[in-house]
Amino acid sequence: MSKIRLAFVAVLLFGLSAAALRAAPPPGGAAEASLDVLLDAIRANRKALIAVNLKLTDDEAAKFWPVYDRYQQEINALGDRLLGVIKDYSASFSDLSNDKALKLMEEYLTIEAERVKVRRTYIDEFAKILPGRTVARFYQIENKIDAVIRYDLAGTIPVVDEAKGVSAK
pLDDT (tens digit, 9 = 90+) per residue, 59-74?
Answer: 999 999 999 999 999 9
98: domain range? 2-164
**Residue 144: strand, helix, or coil:** helix
Is residue 140 assigned to a domain? yes
The contacts of residue 45 (CB under 8 Å, 6+ apart) are 9, 13
Is residue 169 assigned to a domain? no
For 2-17, letters b (16+ CB in 10 Å) and e give eeeebeebbeebbeeb
pLDDT at 151 over 90: no
CA dist., res. 123 & res. 101, Å (int): 33
* pTM score of the predicted model: 0.72
Mean predicted lDDT score pLDDT of the chain: 80
Structural domain total, the chain: 1
> Rounded to the nearest 10 degrees, what angle do helices 2-23 and 132-154 cross at?
30
Is residue 52 assigned to a domain? yes
